[in-house]
């Protein structure tokens, strides 16, 4: 038996059907059990077990607990979490901000969707197990490694069905617009809009997933020229914000040009997006010590609560202004991965209403 999936709430029939589907071989899954939790105590016991579940499913219709509290509990235990039994009235942004990776309605098609997504997790977990020689003792698998593998599977495999759904929705709109009537047209407009948002999120997730397997190609990069080209890319937005950008003299360092270009673009884009007033002020500072070098991108924007700064580097996590500003909360997550790929670390300092400073530091190469 590979492991278990924790199904919180739901019916015995749903959990049993899910287990049967996963073990039927139709989805190519390995042997797996589905454990059903019907009380808070059973959830706590499952998470504290020697072999905790590798995937969680939370039925939002439970009456003995709040799914809003259960999702973070699983996420904090490094357990990817799917929401089931989702109604049209559920706040999707809230669910994703809490850490849920997918949402499905409480019907047969929804359960099949859960099964298909769960099978990707089962397959990834199975591959991790098979890579460990049976005759040797290996350290426990890093939850982050398995998570990265799963993220790639989801972001890659979901592209085709999502794009197909989008095309069908557009066909409905184009070919049956008059037959749908005003109310039907509104529903189709809402559908295509939400499918578009889902595609944007999936694209960003795939970008992040690609960073897991991307081979760094360090080369001497003139950081000052890279910054200038980045600012030129945002020239229209910067002019619209009456922006004034100042920068220290930046040296050349051996970094991956493609990744650092994305890093600079994300940081400048964030400063523009979360501006508080005109004129926008952006300052780029550089510092070097005997062992490390670092940069900071500071702005005079809306700022962030101190309690929110750490979570902004997590996937799809945003601050208190997530309803007012566009985006999906992947920009800083990608920045963090780029910096970590170069052996560095990244952090935020901010004061609400006064601005934000995004800082990163990397080790100096002996070959420089």
CATH number reported for the structural domain that contains residue 30 in this entry: 3.40.50.2300
Residue numbers of the domain that contains 337:
218-363
Q: How do residues 127-177 score in pLDDT, each as one tens digit?
A: 544 443 444 444 444 444 444 554 555 545 555 566 666 666 777 777 777
Which of 81, 114, 133 terminates a domain? The answer is 133
Q: What is the pLDDT of residue 253?
A: 95
Burial class (CB in 10 A: 0-12, 13-18, 19+), 107: exposed
CATH number reported for the structural domain that contains residue 349 in this entry: 3.30.565.10
Contact yes or no for 97/322 (Cβ under 8 A): yes
Q: What is the pLDDT of residue 130?
A: 43
Contact yes or no for 5/32 (Cβ under 8 A): yes
Q: What is the pLDDT of residue 317?
A: 58
Q: What is the pLDDT of residue 1?
A: 47
Q: What is the pLDDT of residue 296?
A: 96
CA angle 71, 74, 77 (to 5 degrees): 145
Using 50 as the pLDDT threshold, list the residues of the chain that sit under it. Answer: 1, 27-29, 128-147, 150, 155, 322, 366
How many independent structural domains does the chain possess?
Answer: 2
Q: What is the pLDDT of residue 56?
A: 92
Q: How do residues 305-361 score in pLDDT, each as one tens digit?
A: 776 777 777 755 555 554 555 555 677 888 998 999 999 999 999 888 889 999 999
Peptide bond into 279 cis (omega under 30): yes
Which of 114, 133, 152 terminates a domain? The answer is 133
CA dihedral 183, 185, 188, 189 (to 10 degrees): -110
Q: Answer whether 0.75 is exceeded by the pTM.
A: no
Q: In which residue are the tokens 């799809």 written?
A: 316
Between the alpha carbon of residue 226 and those of residues 71, 223, 229, 231, 235, the distances in Å are: 41, 5, 5, 9, 14
Burial class (CB in 10 A: 0-12, 13-18, 19+), 59: buried
Give domain status of residue 248, yes or no. yes
């Amino acid at each position: 038996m590979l492991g278990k999936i924790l199904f919180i709430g739901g019916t015995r029939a749903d959990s049993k059907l899910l287990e049967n589907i996963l073990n039927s071989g139709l989805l190519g899954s390995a042997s797996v059990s589905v454990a059903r939790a019907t009380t808070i105590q059973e959830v706590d016991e499952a998470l504290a077990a020697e072999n905790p579940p590798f995937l969680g499913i939370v039925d939002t219709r439970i009456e003995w607990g709040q799914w809003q509290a259960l999702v973070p509990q699983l996420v904090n235990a490094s357990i990817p979490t799917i929401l089931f039994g989702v109604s049209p009235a559920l706040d999707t942004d809230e669910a994703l901000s809490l850490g849920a990776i997918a949402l499905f309605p409480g019907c047969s098609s929804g359960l099949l969707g859960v099964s298909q997504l769960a099978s990707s997790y089962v397959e990834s977990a199975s591959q991790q197990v098979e890579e460990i020689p049976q005759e040797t003792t290996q350290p426990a698998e890093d939850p982050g490694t398995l998570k990265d593998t799963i993220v790639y599977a989801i972001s890659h495999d979901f592209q085709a069905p999502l794009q197909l759904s989008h095309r069908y929705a557009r066909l409905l709109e184009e070919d049956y617009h008059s037959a749908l009537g005003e109310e039907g047209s509104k529903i189709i407009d809402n559908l295509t809009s939400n499918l578009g948002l889902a595609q944007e999120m999936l694209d960003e997730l795939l970008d992040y997933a690609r960073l897991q397997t991307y081979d760094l190609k360090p080369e001497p990069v003139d950081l000052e020229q890279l910054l200038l080209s980045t600012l030129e890319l945002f020239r229209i937005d910067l002019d619209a914000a009456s922006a004034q950008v100042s920068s220290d003299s930046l040296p050349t360092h051996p970094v991956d040009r493609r990744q650092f270009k994305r890093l600079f673009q994300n940081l400048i884009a964030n400063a523009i997006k979360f501006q508080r007033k005109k004129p926008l002020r952006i300052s780029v500072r550089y510092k070097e010590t005997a062992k490390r070098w670092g940069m900071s991108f500071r702005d005079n924007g809306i700022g962030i609560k101190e309690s929110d700064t750490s979570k902004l580097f997590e996937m799809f996590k945003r601050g208190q202004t997530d309803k007012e500003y566009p985006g999906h909360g992947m920009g800083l997550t990608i920045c963090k991965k780029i910096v970590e790929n170069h052996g560095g670390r990244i952090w935020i300092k901010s004061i609400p209403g006064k601005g934000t400073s995004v800082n990163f530091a990397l080790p100096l190469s002996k070959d420089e």
